[in-house]
Amino acid sequence: MQHIIDRFISYITIDTQSDSSSDATPSTEKQWNLANKLVDELRAIGLSDVTIDDNAYIMATLPSNVGHKVPTIGFISHFDTSPDFSGTNVNPQIIRDYDGKDIVLNKEKNIILSSSYFDDLLQYIGQTLITTDGTTLLGADDKAGIAEIVTAMEYLINNPEIKHGKIRIGFTPDEEIGRGAHKFDVEKFSAEWAYTMDGSQIGELEYENFNAAGAKITIKGKSVHPGYAKGKMVNALLIANKIISDLPKHEVPEETSGREGFFHVHHFDGEIENATVELIIRDHDLKRFEQRKKLVEDIVQKFNNEYDNCIELELKDQYFNMKEKIKPVFHIVETAKKAMEDIGIKPIIKPIRGGTDGSQLSYMGLPCPNIFAGGHNFHGKYEYVPVESMQKAVEVIVRICELTAKQ
């Protein structure tokens, strides 16, 4: 247990936040710090063909140890963390033999990880948890996945009696800003299929995700002295507010679950002469997804008609539901499911309410379901990961490799 704890902590204490405002890859220079460390570590444990390209994409190989032909499979995780919450000076706390009570993350600031509010904690009574100190995120998304993949490869190297085919691993930058797969070389990776280790609680197995788009709405107003503004002022802030109010009131993240889609306004800024609204559009169903995009276009056109075409809409697709690419090769999901069952884990097969590198990679020709990495409450100060879940993820990886070699 201590080995994977030490490995995980060595990763999360390196700041790797990505930055959507940057056009570079990786989007932040500091991602190189962990990327270069990982390259050294992969070589040290004995993997071959360890490479890192000019954009910090890392690949490595565990050669087959069987004489018969076996499909080449892969395991993928990302090393950046969310730009939405600080990842600087991560100071993890280790809670051993968790008793089910509230955890004081930061006494001075009265920040509490409460088991009554975050009731998933109660699944892990008696286990070892790694939490934040209440001032940063933890980085289990997705450094837990990286720790699990590296540990699994190390285990297979040290236990050659476990038979497996050729295994490829890949670590990517910038997943948290939607670019993790943009420059991933699928041909170079050369696997028949792969798994992202980027899910949450133990048992999660996902092959469906949102269809996703982003919209940026820019409103140009006219500022006039308010005492003489009648018929002349065009207040961009008020128009932006009207646009937001025209979106379906209850179709928002905080009121939806399962396969229910939503509109999520995540940025609103401006003044009288210029205002910007940014939102994301999500739905598992492609037809409803297209209807959602059309609604945004119709709302913008409605107010353009009223306000003399003062509004610009930039609407871009981001990724699509990987289900359509997984269904023809569904045996790869069944293999992961059996691997979990073989080691005593009940699979939780459900749609992802978000995206993953796997969704883009699936459309790039690399079918790629998503498997749990163990963490909870990603992208914030309440993030935590049970160590036992990380250990089980290692076992799942090893078992998938075994099962693939037997097929």
**pTM tops 0.75:** yes
Could you report the per-residue pLDDT of 195-209, keeping only the tens digit for each?
999 999 999 999 999
| 185: helix, strand or coil | coil
Give the Å distances, CA to CA, from 324 to 309, 340, 367.
38, 23, 10
Could you report the per-residue pLDDT of 369-384, keeping only the tens digit for each?
999 999 999 999 999 9
Q: Is the dihedral of CA 378, 253, 278, 231 positive or negative?
A: negative
Residue 120 φ then ψ, to 5° = -60, -25
Q: What are the chain's domains?
A: 2-208+321-406 (3.40.630.10), 216-319 (3.30.70.360)
Query: How is residue 105 annotated by DSSP?
Result: E
Could you report the per-residue pLDDT of 262-285, keeping only the tens digit for each?
999 999 999 999 999 999 999 999
Q: CB neighbours of 197 closer than 8 A, spacing ≥ 6?
A: 75, 76, 77, 142, 144, 145, 146, 148, 149, 370, 371, 372, 373, 393, 397
Active-site annotation holder among 15, 141, 175, 251: 175
Q: In whole angstroms, what is the distance from residue 71 CA to residue 197 CA? A: 19
356 confidence band (pLDDT: 50, 70, 90): confident
Q: Are 374 and 144 in contact (CB under 8 A)?
A: yes
Q: Is 161 a catalytic residue?
A: no
Active-site annotation holder among 15, 19, 80, 208: 80
Q: Is 334 a catalytic residue?
A: no
Residue 214 φ then ψ, to 5° = -120, 140
pLDDT attached to residue 256: 97
